[in-house]
Amino acid sequence: MTFFFKTIAREFLNYRRKPGLFLNPLIFFGLVVFLFVLGLGPDEAKLNQAASIFILVASLLSVLMSAESAYDQDYDEGSLELVVVSSNSLLIYSLAKSLAHWVVTFLPLILLVPFIGIGLFLDVEQIWVLCLGILLVSPTIILLASVGAAMTISLPRNGVLIGILVLPFYVPPLIFVTGLFEAALLKQNVFPYVYWLIALLFLALGLAPFATSACLRIAAED
């Protein structure tokens, strides 16, 4: 258990030393939302419907940016090999990394979302639902992105490659989150979609770490 907490602490130290690792994706997120909004125009009615989706898709893309460097640094400096040959579990390692990644990527994002939502003419209920949707889907996104990052560790330009590999797996969570937003918009019951998202979260939590640690082991043994 201490290995878990020590890995998280190490990750936070890393992010404190290089704030760009998590600030750059956040700025990227803001810019992507900005571009979407400029493309749609200032029409309030259209923005009302589409804003939640813009914010969600922008957050998906920014996760790809930050996932790129999730394991690269450890691989380059050799600490990944140390973890693999040690008696510590690679599953715990990847889970700890994913948790730290989630904290630095999605906590600031969820805190920013109300302000962005006000700027995009979302009303209070929509902002609540947006925060709920992002909260429920973000662990799944982070876990899937970590699988993609582990698969492409030593490759150059792996941000785009992670996107190509992982975006097909983002489709089911995305479908359920958009269902959530629509149900909220139409004042219907949102709980079916909440349960679906929680189910996907547990599915990812149960399966993704195994794929990630298999790929990490493959990368370290090369």
Partner 1 sequence: MLGWFHRLGSPKTFFGMSQSWPKTFGLLSLLLLAFGTVWGLLFAPPDYQQGHSVRIMYVHVPAAAVAQSCYLIMAISSAVFLIWNIKLADWAAKSMAPIGASLAFLVLITGAIWGKPTWGTWWVWDARLTSTLVLLMLYLGIIVLRNALEEKGNDGRPCAVLALVGLVNLPIIKYSVDWWFTLHQPASFTLTEKPKMPPEMWIPLLIMAAGYYFFVFSVWTSRIRNEIISRERKTAWAKAWAGSQ
Tell me if 199 contacts partner 1 by CB under 8 A.
no
Q: Which of 13, 31, 111, 164 binds partner 1 (CB under 8 A)?
A: 164
Residue span binding partner 1 (CB under 8 A) among the ranges 68-76, 81-89, 184-192, 211-219: 211-219
Q: Which of 169, 181, 193, 196 binds partner 1 (CB under 8 A)?
A: 169
Least separation in angstroms between CB 167 and partner 1 = 7
CA-closest candidate to residue 137, choices 206, 215, 199: 199
**Terminal-to-terminal C-alpha distance of the chain:** 28
Gap between the Cα atoms of 177 and 179, Å rounded: 5
Gap between the Cα atoms of 159 and 40, Å rounded: 27
Residue span binding partner 1 (CB under 8 A) among the ranges 113-121, 131-139, 157-165, 191-199: 157-165
Least separation in angstroms between CB 7 and partner 1 = 22
Least separation in angstroms between CB 3 and partner 1 = 24
What secondary structure does DSSP assign to 115-127, as a single string?
A: HHHHHTT--HHHH
Q: Which of 50, 131, 167, 194 binds partner 1 (CB under 8 A)?
A: 167
Residue span binding partner 1 (CB under 8 A) among the ranges 18-26, 83-91, 153-161, 184-192: 153-161
Q: Which of 151, 184, 190, 220 binds partner 1 (CB under 8 A)?
A: 151
Q: Distances in Å between the alpha carbon of 118 and those of 53, 108, 113, 121, 187?
A: 15, 16, 9, 5, 20
**DSSP-assigned letter for residue 204:** H
Tell me if 60 contacts partner 1 by CB under 8 A.
no
Contacts 24+ apart (CB under 8 A), 88-91: 88/3, 89/3, 89/213, 90/212, 90/213, 90/216, 90/217, 91/209, 91/210, 91/213
Where do contacts with partner 1 occur on this chain (CB under 8 A)?
147, 150-152, 154-156, 161, 164-165, 167-169, 171-172, 175, 207, 211, 214-215, 218-219, 222
